[in-house]
Structure 1
């Protein structure tokens, strides 16, 4: 005789066993494979996200009932963003992907997605889904960009950005909010920073390679310190931005024709007179990290900060490490600095 307690325990075990399980149909006649779990590219380049169909029947691929759908997974995996849908001769692209993506279709089993003119915000995970009648199959591939992660705080000082302000701050500096994977890769490369910053999934973290008292404690292990998900409207932190290759020329102007340094407004004008614009923080980090740019002279940037990039550490120029040195946000009327300019190539 089954007691009420036994029934309750049986019901509980069923709930517990069903909750985390994703049920798949093993009788499906189709599968898809992405061949590579990760595609690495750079901003401005082209890339192909592989996806191939394998069916145990001999019907021609791309029939009238065959549907191919590519979506991008949001950073927190809470939603999917439509990229491309194809059914036979009918194809549709969505949003910012319009005009930049298409199916490769090298043969009847090829559902690979081709990207042109990769943008910073394109990085992430993409799902290839093929549906044929009652059968469907999916696989996921990551699109990653070569680039650099850098910390950013505004003129107001540290911990003054909610998540929405953080996104705008990175965009204004030719960057986007970094992902966990990007910050993790930067940490593995030696990135150490003791101020907490937003990531694109809404979490707040910071990378520590040398544990110390003010940064989680002396006896803690190196790694990413994680504050977890925070209120995107009310919580205030710095932000970790990510930028990649640029198409243009980054350079330094020391002074005007009279040998005088610039105020902030004069720096903007000096760049403008050369057919350029005053450089952004992200452009300086990209030039430093990806091109090895080295200049031991402090100069104005677009956000009103003064910085200089050192790739070859030496006396009086970041003697202990390669870094972008931050002077601060000085009075914009001071004539104490040169100017960093950026001239885009079209």
Structure 2
């Protein structure tokens, strides 16, 4: 018995000896504070992601040993994308962020990141990291954009997009693949859609506000239904796209109000007017963010025909404000008008 107890005590002593020993010198003397967890802006605008240094040592901020690094976290948190690195007078920006970001440096403890010319793909979570010798500290802030989430499927029909096709489809419609947070906010605003679609983290989900048989069952609760992560190459679904405001003019071509055109004639009509045929994302942005309302079905760049209704009325989406979808007609049929978009310099 004594032997067994001795062995047990010896084993416990060995286990305890493996635990790290922390000394007062191991505690970091610096912390960073982002002050706001979320910054909301819009495409084309500016934004400042706050990050301030709080420390109990008196080294001058921005010294030769101080390193500030901003990275963007990927949607699935699997990797970090370099944005900016600063050490003393040496600063470097990376990739698409070059020329659009810099450190604010309003005072010696300011490591805030200033953004200009915000793009659709800039939304997401950013990490501020400050390293000073053996001390380091990090915090995360979100950059969100005002905008609209919309479902999209191509001419081929429902559930024909793998993840890479989905990314391309959104880009072609002046949008990017939406995040879960953006879809969730849309759902809270009443967005209800029964077709499952890709999100930018590689998951497939869909928002339901009115439970019903084909959409998870009559007895389920409202919510964002989640299919989980799917094979980005083999799995095929629709996609939820996100777009924000635009720098331009979206309009129905009044000059052709009494004329019905084929798709090719519609494309040419917009060009003759000094514009381009509008994209699906531009129609959703005009409808949601500008209150655009028109009861005339018109061609869009992807070959679909739609019209935006902000004020529901008889014969024009009587039950809800929505972008109404007619379909993908034969492009040779002269049945519709056209929506154009003229970009501003």
Question: TM-score scaled by structure 1?
Answer: 0.93
CA distance in 1, matches of 2:237, 2:132: 47
Report SS of the residue matched to 1:154: coil
Q: Does the Cα contact within 8 Å between 1:299 and 1:338 map onto a contact in 2?
A: yes
Runs of 4+, deviation exceeding 4 Å:
2-12
Specify every segment of 5 or more residues in structure 2 that has no aligned partner in the other structure, as ranges. Answer: none
CA displacement, residues 91-134 of structure 1 (integer Å, 9 cap, x when unaligned): 00000000000000000000000000000000000000000000
Task: Specify the alignment match of 1:21 in structure 2.
Answer: none
Specify every segment of 5 or more residues in structure 1 that has no aligned partner in the other structure, as ranges. Answer: 19-24
Is it true that 1:190 corresponds to 2:190 in the alignment? yes
- How far off its partner does 1:256 sit? 3.5
Q: Quick check: which has more Rg, 1 or 2? A: 2
Matches within 5 A, 1:43-54: 43-54=43-54
Is it true that 1:105 corresponds to 2:101 in the alignment? no
CA distance in 1, matches of 2:140, 2:26: 19
Task: Specify the alignment match of 2:252 in structure 1.
Answer: 252
Task: Specify the alignment match of 2:317 in structure 1.
Answer: 318
- How far off its partner does 1:57 sit? 1.2
Task: Specify the alignment match of 2:62 in structure 1.
Answer: 62
- How far off its partner does 1:27 sit? 1.1
Task: Specify the alignment match of 2:169 in structure 1.
Answer: 169
Report SS of the residue matched to 1:290: helix
- How far off its partner does 1:58 sit? 1.4
- How far off its partner does 1:262 sit? 1.0
Q: Does the Cα contact within 8 Å between 1:304 and 1:329 map onto a contact in 2?
A: yes
Question: TM-score scaled by structure 2?
Answer: 0.93
Report SS of the residue matched to 1:225: strand
CA displacement, residues 72-103 of structure 1 (integer Å, 9 cap, x when unaligned): 00000000000000000000000000000000
- Tell me the C-alpha RMSD between the 2 structures: 2.3
CA displacement, residues 145-195 of structure 1 (integer Å, 9 cap, x when unaligned): 000000000000000000000000000000000000000000000000000
- How far off its partner does 1:253 sit? 1.4
Instruction: Evaluate the alpha carbon distance shift between residue 4 and residue 272 of structure 1 in structure 2; reply closer, same or farther with a 3 A threshold.
Output: farther
CA distance in 2, matches of 1:6, 1:337: 86
Instruction: Evaluate the alpha carbon distance shift between residue 10 and residue 47 of structure 1 in structure 2; reply closer, same or farther with a 3 A threshold.
Output: farther
Is it true that 1:265 corresponds to 2:264 in the alignment? yes
Between 260-269 and 301-310, report the one with greater CA deviation.
260-269
Matches within 5 A, 1:7-156: 27-156=27-156
Report SS of the residue matched to 1:268: helix
Instruction: Evaluate the alpha carbon distance shift between residue 318 and residue 3 of structure 1 in structure 2; reply closer, same or farther with a 3 A threshold.
Output: farther
Instruction: Evaluate the alpha carbon distance shift between residue 219 and residue 26 of structure 1 in structure 2; reply closer, same or farther with a 3 A threshold.
Output: farther
CA distance in 2, matches of 1:261, 1:159: 31
Task: Specify the alignment match of 1:305 in structure 2.
Answer: 304
The number of residues matched between the two structures is: 336
Instruction: Evaluate the alpha carbon distance shift between residue 26 and residue 193 of structure 1 in structure 2; reply closer, same or farther with a 3 A threshold.
Output: farther
